[in-house]
Amino acid sequence: MRYLPPVLALLALFVLILLAMLVGWRRRARRQEALGEPYVPIAGGRALTGTLLGRGVYVTTTLAAQSLERVTAHGLGPRSRATVSDLDDAGTPLLEIGREGAEDLLIPWDAVASVHTSGGMIGKWMGGEALAVVRWRLGETLVDTGLRFDDASGQDALLARAAQLGVPHDPDPPAAPVPLPPAPPHGHGTAPDPTRSETEENA
């Protein structure tokens, strides 16, 4: 019985840590509500055709050049097994990341700023060029999506397709951390435009 209080204390601490993580995750998602919505396929996806590039792991999505700033909005945070395909949606070229246990992520190729390699990001640190990183625009915000392929052929196929489309391999990083757009408070409409002066608002 003398071991019971310490065990209960450890269990309580573990529960508190889990709750703190959950609250932090939800707060982060709330801050990111103003991010744009991912691409929605035409006709519910019935027009999609394409080619599998490879299989591997969807690591996560972060703000561009901020490998620790995970994007949790739109279900983009959790890691999962994935397939990566080059698709066409009635004339719109897409990069598809088919995720197990989550909605497939469709990225229009014209929204992709670069496809480069990296040693890691939050959730997966390998060193070298272990990850393929797709930098793309989610609404008006640049984000990085990390992929760890099961073998080199998948990563090579992705890089080759990006090069074929004229997508840069080694982009210049953003000059400053990418800010999130302001999220409107619940029930209070659109957030005020911080670029407008008080004189303009009173005019």
pLDDT score for 124: 73
Q: Which DSSP string do the residues of 10-28 spell out, in sequence order?
A: HHHHHHHHHHHHHHHHHHH
What token pair was written down for 166? 């004229």
What is the rounded CA–CA span in Å between residue 89 and residue 42? 7
Domain that holds residue 1: 1-31
Q: What is the pLDDT of residues 123-167, one digit of tens each?
A: 678 888 999 999 999 998 999 999 999 999 999 999 999 999 999
Q: What is the pLDDT of residue 68?
A: 87
Looking at the structure, tell me whether residues 86 and 119 fall in a common domain. yes
Q: What is the pLDDT of residue 200?
A: 42
Are 66 and 99 members of one domain?
yes
Residue-wise pLDDT for 60-113, tens only, equals 999 998 988 899 888 999 999 999 999 999 999 999 999 999 999 999 999 999
pTM beyond 0.75: the answer is no
Is 51 in the same domain as 131? yes
- Statement to judge: residues 81 and 8 lie in one domain: no
- 91: phi > 0 → left, psi -120 to 50 → alpha, else beta; which? left
- Give yes or no: residues 85 and 158 share one domain: yes
Dist. CA 55–CA 37, nearest whole Å: 25
Judge whether 192 lies within some domain.
Answer: no
> Dihedrals φ, ψ of 157, to 5°?
-65, -40
**pLDDT, tens digit, 9 for 90 and up, residues 32-67:** 666 888 999 988 888 899 999 999 999 999 999 898
Report how far residue 37's alpha carbon sits from residue 62's, in angstroms, rounded to the nearest whole number.
15
- 58 by Cβ neighbours in 10 Å (0-12 / 13-18 / 19+) ranks as buried
